[in-house]
Structure 1
Amino acid sequence: MALYALTIFLGALLLFQVQPLIGKFVLPWFGGGPAVWTTCVLFFQLLLLAGYAYAHVLRAWLPQRKQVVIHIALLAAALATLPIIPSARWKPVGGADPTWGILVLLAATVGLTYLMLSPTSPLLQAWFSLSHPGRSPYRLYALSNAGSLLALVSYPFLVEPAFTLRTQALLWSVGFALFTLLCAWVALRTWHLEPPAEGETPAAPRQQPVEQSEVGDQQSAIGNPGNEASPGIGVRLLWVALAACGSLMLLAVTNQMCEDVATVPFLWVAPLTLYLLTFILCFHSERWYPRMIFWVLLALALGAGLPLAKLARNWITLDDSTVALMGGMLGLLREGVDVPLLMQILGYSAGLLICCMVCHGELVRLKPSPRHLTSFYLLVAVGGALGGALVSLVAPRVFRAYLELHVGMWLCAALAIVAFWADTKPHRGWQQRWWVGLYPPAFVTILVILGMALKRDADDTLKGASLLTRNFYGVLRVTEYYEDDPERHYYSLQHGRISHGNQYADEEKRKQPTSYYGEKSGVGLAILGLRGDGARPQRIGVVGLGTGTIAAYGRAGDHYRFYDINPDVERIAETWFHYLGDLRARGGNCHVVLGDARLSLEAEAARGEAQGFDVLALDAFSSDAIPVHLLTREAFELYVKHCLAPGGVLAVHISNRYLDLEPVVLAQADHLGYQAVVVESKSDRDRRLDSATWVLLTRNKEFLDSEAIRQIVEKRQRASEGAGDEDQDEDGDGDAEATRLEKPKTPRRVLWTDDYSNLFQVLKR
């Protein structure tokens, strides 16, 4: 058994180690958003399904010797595709939906190797059952998941910090070569074996599978080792549905967490680790899934505690975040970004763990005997791929907002009830008792109440929007405010839950820069400070379009060049907002480049089209999530060497609810030998200004010696000497937009590179 265990364990380790590894390669090429990762997961689920289908076909249709020959030949072919380093020719061009491009890239890079790793667990378990007919193969499945779990946990904490991406890919390729040798050895040892003839009863496994029944009254006796009857269609559909629900919840929760933070390995790995952990526990022993306990936990995870928490407020003091956490995932959905980051991660992770324990616990209660093992795993893989497709392919095209989590929560409750009714074990001995008749109406009532609560939250998400649209890159929402008040009438753009710009409707007031881009914001100071006497036209580059607010600074002859990956953002900026159109009307030049900003800038540099920007503003955040690949050492080297004019200013917007990005940008300034000035501006609701923090990087001594920048530096010096960090309203006009700097914190630098970025280092405490 040791050889089987080692081979299955190594195969599972490689199977899941390659997922974050290859994800890190392709993420920067396609914008760095959460949809890139969910598309990667969909690809791996589809290949897993193909691998399980391959294992099932081998076992069902071919004699053992042909199985061995075919499997070893395909393993050898997979070796020829190493190493797994994506070619630069797969980098996308433009901003079209990249879903199919990602899938094709992954197929070309890791398709065959992943396909040959996928069937390892079911195929080797079937071979083990053949060579050891008196022993249960199901524990090998738990061992497979343990290898997968180790791969995921080790990646962000051990592998990613220690090795460059290229080294990781080479080490993985060596591991695959070793796996090929082990798998070939196992296969050759089964050369002389053949499965029992049809109708022949194999030796009973030591650990007998549980009993089950089809949906309805027909009972299946597959828990009896002497009966090898095939499970009915009802049970098979439940296998698919339960697996699909678990997969759907995994990706929906991952989307929810990555939407407002960053698409980084830890936030991919944490949900996937919990998902696999439920497989390990449930397949190891039914004792890990006491149904009634997990049903209570499921009710709390889905929101049953929310009314209780609100009721408890009448007697004890509870803040909104605590109420949201007590309300499970429904509470977190309703409160949104007002809940601290760590509480959101803990709350969603706990909800995912409970939902997946229910789905996989019920799945294990319905598992078949070893004779039907490969078909069971095949249908589980079908369900996993179906759940992934619903989130990655269907939801962005059907829903106008992130509503797949709502669907998954309701589906989890519904399937738990169906699976309970399908399992004959709990009904034995009390089927005739009167209170059993109360179960159906009680179950229907629970589902109706849950559905109404989820629908109400979904309606709250959708209502009030003048425009709500969703694509691969996220959800965009345009909202109109104060329609009946001409002085305050304005439009706002939200990406996810965070404002990405607004504009007054009035023809004169709409020319004002608003939001994070006021005249005393960092980017405002940079543009105005470099303008001088105004005789020379300026060249301004902006990474991240939003509403195009920065174009409000443009004059006749100025050149403004925006970079954005999302074509819907450009459409909204051109049709719902007027910053770009007004700049053109003033005689300025405005151009929007679609595609990932870093790739676009790299392509321009390669063509010798250095833009020579006086100011390059980095403001490419989606919701509150950060595109890490735009903040790395290699990215900053690109900005200053190929994009900025001599004496230019790189303005980096670092406002963030959860992450302190100042150490990251200061580290890049040190690396480049640039001076850095941190500028904070206050909010002013009357002028539609939001508080903002920018870091200005430059070597322009004249700019650094200007009055506005010198005042900022002096305020920091006074703060460091204990004079306080409050703004002094020097001109007495009560300007709520005045720039300020807090007392300097303990100096620290966090240098991010393309190979390594650590989110924990910059979490706000």
Structure 2
Amino acid sequence: MRMPVPYVWLCAFSVTLSALLLFSVQPVLAKLILPWFGGTAAVWSVCIFFFQGMLLAGYGYAHLLARYLTPRRQALVHSTLLALSLLALPILPNATWKPVGAEDPLTRILGLLLASIGAPYFLLSATSPLVQSWYARREGGALPYRLFALSNLASLAALLAYPVLIEPRSTAREQATLWTALYILCALALSLTAWLGQSTAAAPIAATGRSSAPPWRDRLQWLLLSALPSALLLAVTNHLCQNVAAIPFLWLLPLVLYLATFILCFDRERLHRRPLWTFLGAAALAALSWAELQAQLPVRAAIPLFLAGLFAACMYCHAQLAARKPAPQHLTYFYLMISTGGALGSLAVGMLAPRFLHGYFELPLAIALCAFTLLFLEYRKHIVTDLAYTGVAIAAVVGAGATILSFEGSALASGRNFYGVLRVAPSETPRGPALTLVHGSVNHGSQYVNHPRDTTAYYTPRSGAALALASLDRPARRIGLIGLGVGVLAAYAKPDDVLRFYEINPLVVDYARTRFRFLADCPAPYEIILGDGRMALERERPNHFDLLVVDAFSGDSIPVHLLSREALQLYLAHLKPNGILAMHVSNLHLQLAPVVERVGRTLGLHSRLIADPRNGDPLQSPSEWVLLARDEDLFFHPALRATARTLIASTHRPWTDDYNNLLQVLR
């Protein structure tokens, strides 16, 4: 008996809507909690780990439900849990989860996500395998894997729609409210799907050639072929965003390609001819191993190369996975193993690597594991391919070892924590030896060994921060700095000044104190507050700063919570009436000066732009600063008058904690 067409539509609607909700809630919640944890890329990695863990739990629940309960009891249990999950709505995170100091943010993020979205996300995660199970039962064993491809297609649509259609047009709270309403609709649709799925006598599932219980060899291969692409996805994403270029939305491209391979392999099996993708997968792994060793590879070449390599490697793994899919009666177990592999891959890269690897070594290690997996699966098919794939595996291992040795040999000191990898790199310049604090591809500050008082990086004597400080020629100045770097600004301090640094990364503080001399040679007293600058200021009484410098941007990775209207209001509460707020807005890809000007104007502030062009000093960088003040007369001081330019009034919507639009300010 064939399934009524309306029920097929109901299954498709339920799977599509649940997938849209699963993947749209990820950026919504990440955006809501980023201001609480410093706005780093590591927050997104923890979120991915949580969501994959919940996906695993949902798939495990679906497998147990489908295996041990009758269709009627499945419908009763699932619809009851869906009803109870409505009590967890809305999904807005509770402010009690905000960090209160410098404690490890990992457990707080996981606890916050579990409390905010745990129950709804768990049940949505079970939708795809459960609905496919009900479909197969009603259809008497018809293959339901096209619904899996549809689920991935909807996930892909949600990811692409968020930065282009959703984020620019609504606040995070409006997005959370809309998500809540759609979840209620989805809960109703799923309950209806469950009850209609068992309303007639279940047809026996037809036997197929693969209907017997899958052997352990197949199960382990399911696990491995899903874990490796997941690990490679996160490793490539980390490498591109940290070591290649911190470009807005770059993190989205690897995830889009990863999902696209699932869609192609499970919906269009003719498109993934296995010999072709085996060859391309091996070639991609060899290319990735080579690219990992190229320190000076241009960005325009590196990004396409790593993305193409990721796509080809994932196509190989997912094609192998699709070729090994079992009969429909085992599909919930199949999906359970896929989600287990995905969770293990994200656990290895997102959680274990930062704790046990002191460099970004997860990418070369993942490449090597993929190469050996390909060799294992394809060995003894032809002497030529055996030799070729053995060569790729050996090259991947050699490349991994070379990458690690190169990292070890290029730094005087290095370390890794939740916020990333830091290195103190020596270099030779025309003015003698120098040290630079490097975070991936980002320079956090430099110092000449033989000229330790010379200012560098974005703090040259012509920079906005230096000129603002020169214009405030007062006794006993109080200076606040969000973002320590190597402490270059301390070189401008006078003995009667008081400096207060805010730094979220304890490794930065350690290296600034032990490897560089700006703090040690500072003539003024200073203190360093460990933790997110904004969160620390919220806990403190007014500091009455003469100058507050905000320079906590990790290269081109923008913690937007430091640019919002609420953030500027907080800065003003700590600034003297005749004080200056200096915002560092240098960025290759975003025009941030209009954002700061627009937000400042809503608060009645006057603004000026100071652009410091490039000069011949190799350790000095060009920079853009926006200075804001309540009193416009401050900008007519001789130190500022010649270089400070009035900004054109921006017509953009002011950024708030609830709203920002990166697309609007792309260069």
Both structures adopt the same fold (TM-score exceeding 0.5):
yes
- Partner in structure 2 of residue 708 of structure 1: 639
Q: Deviations over 1:316-369 (max 9, x none)?
A: xxxxxxxxxxxx6843772468425xx655443333222221211111011111
Partner of 1:396: 354
1:667 aligns with 2:598: yes
Q: How far does residue 377 in structure 1 lie from its aligned partner after superposition?
A: 0.4
Instruction: Please state how far the C-alpha of 1:438 moved relative to its aligned partner.
Output: 4.2
The match for 1:445 among 376, 388, 391 is 391
Look up the match of 2:458: 516
State the match for 1:366 in structure 2.
Answer: 324
The separation in 2 between residues aligned to 1:710 and 1:539, in whole angstroms, is 23
Match of 2:526 in 1: 590
Give, in angstroms, the shift of residue 699 of structure 1: 3.6
Tell whether 2:662 aligns with 1:759.
yes
- Which residue is equivalent to 1:553? 492
CA distance in 2, matches of 1:187, 1:562: 57
Counterpart CA distance in 2 for 1:693 and 1:657 is 11
Which stretches of structure 1, 4 residues or more, deviate above 6 A after TM superposition? 193-196, 744-748
Q: Among residues 41, 50, 75, which one is paired with 1:68 in the alignment?
A: 75
Q: 1:444: Cα distance to partner?
A: 1.3
Alignment of 1:334 onto 2:294: yes
Q: Which residue of 2 aligns with 1:637?
A: 569
Q: Secondary structure at the match of 1:581?
A: coil
Aligned residue identity for 1:455: G
- CA 1:624–1:403 in structure 2 vs 1: closer, same or farther (change >3 Å)? farther
Residues 594 and 336 from structure 1, CA distance in 2 versus in 1: closer, same or farther, beyond 3 angstroms? farther
- C-alpha distance in structure 2 between counterparts of 1:752 and 1:336, whole Å: 36
2:561 pairs with 1:578: no
RMSD over aligned CA atoms reads: 2.7
Deviations 1:352-389 (A, max 9, x none): 22222121111101111112111110000000000100
Name the structure 2 match of 1:732: none
Q: What's the offset of the Cα at 1:691?
A: 2.7
Deviation string for 1:213-247 (max 9, x for gaps)? xxxxxxxxxxxx15522222222111111111111
Aligned length: 659
- Paired amino acid for 1:446: V
Contact 1:410-1:447 at 8 Å conserved across structures: yes
**Matched residue type, 1:597:** G
SS in 1 for 2:118: helix
CA separation in 1, counterparts of 2:218 and 2:375?
A: 14
Of stretches 510-519 and 70-79 in structure 1, the one that deviates more from structure 2 is 510-519
Change (3 A) 1:350 1:634: farther
| Residue 348 (str. 1) matches residue 351 (str. 2) | no
1:524 is displaced (CA, Å) by 0.8
1:244 aligned to 2:227? Answer: yes
> Aligned pair 1:202/2:133, yes or no?
no
TM-score by length of 2: 0.92
1: distance between equivalents of 2:120 and 2:386? 48
Q: Indicate how the Cα distance of structure 1 residues 186 and 360 shifts in structure 2: closer, same or farther if over 3 A, else same.
A: same
1:34–1:686 CA distance, 2 compared to 1 (3 A): closer
Q: Counterpart in 1 of 2:447?
A: 503
Tell me if 1:603 matches 2:535. no
Deviation of 1:539 after TM superposition, in Å, equals: 0.7
Distance change (3 Å), C-alpha of 1:701 and 1:662? closer
Q: Which string of whole-angstrom CA distances, capped at 9 and with x for unpartnered residues, describes residues 624-670 of structure 1?
A: 42222212233223222x12211211112222343333332333343
The 8 Å contact of residues 615 and 651 in structure 1, kept in 2 or not, is answered as yes
Residues 661-670 or 591-600, more deviating: 661-670
Q: Distance in 2 between matches of 1:655 and 1:619?
A: 10
Bigger-Rg structure (1/2):
1
Report if aligned partners of 1:362, 1:419 keep a CA contact under 8 Å in 2: no
- Alignment check: 8 A CA contact 1:496 1:622 kept: no
Task: Say if 1:679 and 1:694, in contact at 8 Å, map to a contact too.
Answer: yes
Paired with 1:177 and 1:686, the residues of 2 have a C-alpha distance of 60
For residue 671 of structure 1, report the CA deviation from its aligned partner. Answer: 3.2
1:263–1:627 contact (8 Å) kept in structure 2: no
- Give the structure 1 partner of residue 3 of structure 2: none
Shift of 1:746: 11
Give the one of 179, 183, 197 matched to 1:176. 183
Any idea what SS the aligned residue of 1:531 has? coil
- Letter paired with 1:293: L
Task: Name the aligned partner's letter for residue 103 of structure 2.
Answer: A
1:678 paired to 2:635: no
Preserved contact between residue 94 and residue 565 of structure 1 (Cα < 8 Å): no
Change (3 A) 1:654 1:300: farther
Deviation string 1:232-267 (CA, Å, 9 cap, x unpaired) is 222211111111111112212222333376696x44
Per the TM alignment, residue 452 of structure 1 is displaced from its structure 2 partner at its CA by 2.1
Corresponding position of 2:163: 156
Q: Give unmatched runs, 5+ long, in structure 2.
A: 1-7
Residue identity in the other structure for 2:591: D
Which residue in 1 is equivalent to 2:424?
A: 478
What residue in structure 2 maps to residue 285 of structure 1? 268
**Cα shift at 1:42:** 0.5
Aligned position for 1:729: none
Does residue 656 of the first structure (1) align with residue 596 of the second (2)? no
Distance 1:170 1:602 in 2: 27
Q: Which residue identity is paired with 1:253?
A: V
Question: Residues of 1 paired with 2:181 and 2:205: CA distance?
Answer: 39
Preserved contact between residue 30 and residue 36 of structure 1 (Cα < 8 Å) = yes
Q: How does 1:89-488 map onto structure 2 within 5 Å?
A: 89-191=96-198, 202-203=205-206, 225-226=208-209, 228-259=211-242, 266-304=249-287, 330-331=290-291, 334-335=294-295, 338-340=298-300, 345-421=303-379, 436-481=382-427, 488=432
Give secondary structure in 2 for the equivalent of 1:256.
helix
In 2, the alpha carbon distance for the partners of 1:53 and 1:347 equals: 36
Q: Is the 8 A contact 1:302 1:351 kept in 2?
A: yes
The one of 49, 56, 75 equivalent to 1:49 is: 56
CA-to-aligned-CA distance 1:82-123 (integer Å, 9 cap, x gap)? 010001111112223311111111000000110111111111
Query: Using the alignment, how far apart are the partners of 2:194 and 2:367 within structure 1?
Result: 42
Distance of 1:756 and 1:351 partners within structure 2? 35
Q: Is the 8 A contact 1:598 1:630 kept in 2?
A: yes
Between the aligned partners of 1:40 and 1:622, the Cα distance in structure 2 is 20
Contact preservation (8 Å) 1:261, 1:658: no
Aligned AA (2:478): R
Q: Decide whether aligned partners of structure 1 residues 648 and 90 sit closer, same or farther in structure 2, where only a CA change above 3 A counts.
A: same
Does the CA contact (< 8 Å) of 1:337 and 1:497 recur in 2?
Answer: no
Query: Percentage identity across aligned positions?
Result: 42
Worse overlay, 744-753 or 90-99: 744-753
Q: 1:167 to 1:704 in 2, by over 3 A?
A: same
Q: Deviations over 1:129-156 (max 9, x none)?
A: 1111152211111122222222222211
SS at match of 1:83: coil
Superposed CA deviations along residues 427-462 of structure 1, whole A, max 9, x for unmatched, are: 6xxxxxxxx244433321221123323433443333
Equivalent residue number for residue 539 of structure 1: 478
Is the CA contact 1:32–1:263 (under 8 Å) kept in the aligned structure 2? no
**Distance between the aligned counterparts of 1:629 and 1:656, measured in 2?**
16
Deviates more, 1:452-461 or 1:330-339: 330-339
8 Å Cα contact 2:231-2:345 kept in structure 1: yes
Q: CA deviation at 1:9?
A: 1.4
The answer to whether the Cα contact below 8 Å between 1:145 and 1:279 also exists between their aligned partners in 2 is yes
Deviation of 1:748 (Å): 7.5
2:18 matched residue in structure 1: 11
SS of equivalent to 1:712: coil
Q: Give 1:519 shift.
A: 2.2
What whole-Å deviation, never above 9, does each CA across 1:392-451 have from its counterpart, x for those lacking one? 1111122222222222223333323333459xxxx6xxxxxxxx2444333212211233
